[in-house]
Structure 1
Amino acid sequence: MRVAFVSLYPDQRRSDGATRRARRVAERLAARGHDVVFLCAQWWEGPLDAFEQHDVQYVAVTETPSARAFASKLPFALRRADPDVIHAANSPPSQVAAARTAARVLRVPVVVDWWARRDDDTERMCRRAVKSASRVLAPSRLVKTDVREYGATADEVEIVPESIDFDLVRDAEVDTRADLVYARRLDEHANVESFLLALAELRDRDWRAVVVGDGPERGTAEETAAELRIDDRVSFLGALDPEEFVPILKGAHVFAQTATVDPFPRGLLWGLACGCVGIVEYQARSSAHELVESRERGALVTSPQELADEVVAAAGQDRRTVNEAFARYDHETVLDGYESVYEDEIDDYGFF
């Protein structure tokens, strides 16, 4: 199958949840033997119009990330790529409408992978993007609800979650340096302060905690830990690769999720798969509660005090290093879901 990915911003130029998701899917499809071309703004140096990395062929539609120029040139680039299916990121939405223009000529479907609306995306253009899609994919029920507010029906949106390497979860060693873990990019939505405030409520108990992740709010978080006089028991480890991250999760007992915005909390997924008890502070713009609802090793809270209480309660649960209930989130299983959507949409398009 020849798959054309469309994203003005590739992960190599601007890394966020949406671009990381697109890159992971593209590279794993290529590893399965699919012919994958990624149409984007140029991110590599030099005069080359195309660049190959991890078996994915990146094609520069524009030299700079201009949404208007990208949308105007995209239909011609897609015709040259001649794909069987077009996989487009939802933002900027103008690229979805432009992809649809080419798709009509090529007679191929447009699958839109929806992550989040960016600041520059207007509601009108989001609605147009939804109408331009043959099928919309969403990582969570929260995002599916967002897409439906832009005019999609329930049948037009399919949930395809984020994925993890479950073989790594099974095979990794156990690192017992921490009892409690927080892991996420430390940006304005991280809300790591709730985690630290809960720990401060428990300062008379014996525990060790780590914060995994980096970002513009790391310094503020470290200052908060110092002000709460728990900085000697909280280690800030920065960003870690899964090979470094997973052993720590397998040795921990609790994973705390407090971020205010998160279309899909992949760090929490890793933690739950590694046997952690997941404690989620409910937030209206986070889907984290979806991973722990109705699960024995999970709890929902609404404040740092409740989070602290649930940490104490979690001590009554056994320690585990693997939770097989999350094996369905393995990379290969989730990738099967993408392939199934592509095949269904190609068949339906050909039929009509």
Structure 2
Amino acid sequence: MRVAFVSLTTAHDGDDWYARRMRAVAERLVARGHDVTICCTQWWDGDHPAFDFEGVTYRRVTAEPAPQAFVAKLPFVLNSVRPDIVHVATNPHLAVPAARVTGRLRRIPVVAEWWAQPDDETTTSWHRRWAARSPGRVLVPSRTVGTAVRECGADADDVEVVPDSVDMAAIRSASVDQRADVVYARPLDDHANVEEFLLALAELRQLEWRAAVIGDGPARPDAERTARDLRIADRVEFLGALDPADQVPILKGAHVFAQTATWEPFATNLLRALACGCVGVVEYQADSAAHELVEEEPRGALVTSPRELADEIVDAAEMERWTVNEAYAPYDHDAVLDRYVDCYERAIDDYGFF
């Protein structure tokens, strides 16, 4: 199958959640024998229009991240790629109807991956509505994002949830690092809300525990200051940003994972912790999909305040410690990739009827 991804940015020039997801899916498709091209802003050196990396062909749409020029040139680039299916990220939103133009001319199905951004004031509402209504299918990582897409005008039957994934084989074989009982993991940005986690720990200062904060970013100095102000800094280790492979042993050794971020289209770090056997405690946030992973999970809880979070940490002590939770095997990389491939195949088959 020839798959063309479309995105203004990639994981090579940005570190957002969706860019990393697109790269991972593209490289896993290549490993299965599919032909994958990513149409994007040029991130490689030189004047050549395409560049191969890890088996994926990156094709230049524009040399600079200029959304209007990107949308205008995209149909011509897609026409030269001649894919069997186009998988377009809603970044920018107008890339979706632009890809749809090529799809109609060449009879190629188009699926969109909804690229949710927090506090997005740069895109007008009609851009979002056009993006939601243009593709044959809209892929979302969670029901929460799916609700937002339907509110933009997408038909409910066209919205399909395809979650993020974790490497279950690596989790099963990883060692156990018991440096922390309670863990928080996420980039420490404006949406991290790590102070709620620290406030919950401060409620438990009379108990014996060790905590770790995994992640880095502009909110880290304030978080470290908060830990000092709460007089728990000697029991909270700030580990900085860690790759998944380095996170897993710490998560396997921990007992509780706390999720307090105010914005998450999909809580990948929480998923990884749950697969590592952690008890997941999620503070409900209106713009976060994290609660979806623990709503029906016996080793999980949903809270609304630091006090409730502290209580659940205490209650978790009564639960058996695990290092792997096989209930999350359906979130393995291969299993989720199967869902992408199945979606592509259905889209191609359905398109043949029209």
So what's the TM-score if we normalise by structure 2?
Answer: 0.98
Q: CA deviation at 1:90?
A: 1.3
Q: Which residue of 2 aligns with 1:293?
A: 295
Q: Which residue of 2 aligns with 1:100?
A: 100
Q: Which residue of 1 aligns with 2:327?
A: 325
Distance 2:202 2:300 in 1: 21
Runs of 4 or more off by more than 6 Å in structure 1? none
Q: Which residue of 1 aligns with 2:194?
A: 192
Q: 2:212 aligns with which of 201, 210, 232?
A: 210
Q: Which residue of 2 aligns with 1:31?
A: 31
Q: CA deviation at 1:41?
A: 0.5
Q: Which residue of 2 aligns with 1:86?
A: 86
Distance 1:264 1:273 in 2: 15
Q: CA deviation at 1:6?
A: 0.2
Q: Which residue of 2 aligns with 1:20?
A: 20
SS at match of 1:12: coil
Amino acid at match of 2:349: D
1:304 aligns with 2:306: yes
The answer for unaligned runs of 5 or more in structure 1 is none
Distance 1:301 1:205 in 2: 20
Q: 1:229 aligns with which of 213, 228, 231?
A: 231
SS at match of 2:123: coil
Q: Which residue of 1 aligns with 2:250?
A: 248
8 Å CA contact retained: 1:27, 1:56:
yes
Output the aligned Cα RMSD: 0.8
Q: Which residue of 1 aligns with 2:72?
A: 72
Amino acid at match of 1:70: F
Distance 2:121 2:179 in 1: 39
Amino acid at match of 2:287: R
Q: CA deviation at 1:294?
A: 2.0
Q: CA deviation at 1:119?
A: 3.3
1:139 aligns with 2:141: yes
Distance 1:159 1:187 in 2: 26
Distance 1:21 1:119 in 2: 23
8 Å CA contact retained: 1:144, 1:159:
yes
8 Å CA contact retained: 1:130, 1:136:
yes
Distance 2:115 2:40 in 1: 17
Q: 1:273 aligns with which of 260, 272, 275?
A: 275
1:119-158 matched pairs, under 5 angstroms: 119-158=121-160
Q: Provide the identity percentage.
A: 61
Q: CA deviation at 1:233?
A: 0.7
8 Å CA contact retained: 2:133, 2:155:
no
SS at match of 1:348: helix
Q: CA deviation at 1:122?
A: 1.6
Distance 1:212 1:243 in 2: 13
SS at match of 2:175: coil
Q: CA deviation at 1:214?
A: 1.0
SS at match of 1:351: coil
The answer for unaligned runs of 5 or more in structure 2 is none
Q: How many residues align?
A: 352
